[in-house]
């Protein structure tokens, strides 16, 4: 893997912070504190970003926000990612119907990025910020890998903090369940809720080493739990973390996911299946309207 360029990494770090706080502006001092950069590095990076229009500085407060060049970049990016744009169009009515928070996410090589959200933050979940990132590490991300090729799946499985056979079986079962149902259901737990809170807080303080260590430890705990909900035919009640369905691109690959979160505890199986069906149907509408293709497998 190529070594990251420090200057590029600093620019991305600043932009990510501004993206996750769209209504706020940050002074140079605040950016230094939150990102952990040196004053000189932050000043030099901001000068380049301001000169190119990627950030703007308020003349009175001297605080920074996203610049007009990113408006153009965003518009053009949506043209190149019609599935994401289509998913954005369906989440508002879906959030209203389900009464929970609904988000659109996309994946990179090793991360999941939340790109749009709708609905109110729920008392039963930590909430999600647009621009927030979480690692694409098992058991997270099954909806993105369920229709992927063998090599991609192996790479995802290899990143699991728990490498024993039981964890492997759980993660492989999660992929099969997502393919069979057309949506993935994950269980709520103390570790899951704490992980959501820590990743949300990392958007405020991305350089916080303690938070990053907590996230690593919580992933290790989550990897040992029964995170995918397997049996929806029983008379049990379920504490559901997330229900997610895929949006497919022109080549039949998963381009985005529509996920609902913040469900109240103690849902019966019928309610979970009904919510999953609605989310799957909304994702299918986004696939069709963006001229995506459903996979045959």
User: Residue ranges per domain, the chain?
Assistant: 6-73, 81-289
Task: Check pLDDT > 60 for residue 1.
Answer: no
Q: What angle do CA 270, 272, 273 make, to 5 degrees?
A: 65
Task: Check pLDDT > 70 for residue 189.
Answer: yes
Task: Kindly give, in sequence order, each residue whose CB lies less than 8 Å from that of residue 106, ignoring residues fewer than 6 positions away.
Answer: 81, 84, 112, 113, 115, 255, 256, 257
**How large a percentage of the chain has pLDDT more than 90?**
74
Task: Kindly give, in sequence order, each residue whose CB lies less than 8 Å from that of residue 101, ignoring residues fewer than 6 positions away.
Answer: 95, 117, 118, 119, 120, 121, 122, 125, 127, 128, 260, 261, 262
Can you give the pLDDT at residue 147?
97
CA atoms of 245 and 184, how far apart (whole Å): 6
- pLDDT band of 296, cuts 50, 70, 90: confident
Task: Check pLDDT > 90 for residue 122.
Answer: no
Task: Check pLDDT > 70 for residue 297.
Answer: no
pLDDT tens digits along 90-119: 999 999 999 999 999 999 999 999 999 999
Task: Kindly give, in sequence order, each residue whose CB lies less than 8 Å from that of residue 175, ignoring residues fewer than 6 positions away.
Answer: 142, 145, 146, 153
CA atoms of 208 and 33, how far apart (whole Å): 10
- pLDDT band of 188, cuts 50, 70, 90: confident
Higher pLDDT, 76 or 202: 76
- pLDDT band of 232, cuts 50, 70, 90: confident
- In the predicted model, what is the mean pLDDT of residues 33-60? 96
Range list of β-strands (E), the chain: 55-57, 64-66, 101-107, 111-118, 133-135, 184-187, 237-238, 240-248, 254-261, 267-268
CA 296 vs. chain centroid, Å, equals 26
For the whole model, what pTM was predicted?
0.90
Say how many C-beta atoms besides its own lie within 10 A of residue 113's C-beta.
Answer: 18
CATH number of 81-289: 3.30.450.40
Count the helix, strand and coil residues of the chain and give each as a percent rounded to the nearest 5: 50, 15, 35
Across 112-116, 209-213, 223-227, which has the greatest mean pLDDT?
112-116
Topology adopted by domain 6-73: Arc Repressor Mutant, subunit A (1.10.10)
Cα dihedral value 193, 195, 200, 205, nearest 10: 140
Q: What is the mean pLDDT of the chain?
A: 92
- In the predicted model, what is the mean pLDDT of residues 192-217? 88
Can you give the pLDDT at residue 196?
86
- In the predicted model, what is the mean pLDDT of residues 208-216? 89
Task: Kindly give, in sequence order, each residue whose CB lies less than 8 Å from that of residue 215, ignoring residues fewer than 6 positions away.
Answer: 135, 195, 198, 199, 202
């Amino acid at each position: 893997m190529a070594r990251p360029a420090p200057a590029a990494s600093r620019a991305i770090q600043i932009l990510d912070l501004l993206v996750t706080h769209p209504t706020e502006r940050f002074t140079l001092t605040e950016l230094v504190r939150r990102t952990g950069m040196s004053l000189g590095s932050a000043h030099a990076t901001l000068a380049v970003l301001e000169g190119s229009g990627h950030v703007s500085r308020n003349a009175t407060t001297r605080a920074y926000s996203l610049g007009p060049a990113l408006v153009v970049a965003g518009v053009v990016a949506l043209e190149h990612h019609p599935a994401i744009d289509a998913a954005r169009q369906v989440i508002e009515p879906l959030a209203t119907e389900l009464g929970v928070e609904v988000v659109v996410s996309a994946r990179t090589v090793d991360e999941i990025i939340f790109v749009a959200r709708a609905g109110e933050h729920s008392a039963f979940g930590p909430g999600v910020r647009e621009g927030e990132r979480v690692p694409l590490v098992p058991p997270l991300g099954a909806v993105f890998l369920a229709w992927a090729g063998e090599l991609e799946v192996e790479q995802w499985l290899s990143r699991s903090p728990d490498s024993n056979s039981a964890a492997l079986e759980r993660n492989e079962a999660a992929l099969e369940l997502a393919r069979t149902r057309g949506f993935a259901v994950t269980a709520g737990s103390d570790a899951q809720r704490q992980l959501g809170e820590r990743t949300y807080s990392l958007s405020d303080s991305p350089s916080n080493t303690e938070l990053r260590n907590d996230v690593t430890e919580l992933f290790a705990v989550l990897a040992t739990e029964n995170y995918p909900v397997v049996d929806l035919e029983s008379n049990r009640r379920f504490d559901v973390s997330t229900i997610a369905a895929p949006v497919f691109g022109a080549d039949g690959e998963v381009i985005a996911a529509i996920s609902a979160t913040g469900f109240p505890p103690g849902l019966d199986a019928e309610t979970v299946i009904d919510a999953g069906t609605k989310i799957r149907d909304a994702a299918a509408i986004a696939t069709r309207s963006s001229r995506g293709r459903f996979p045959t497998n």
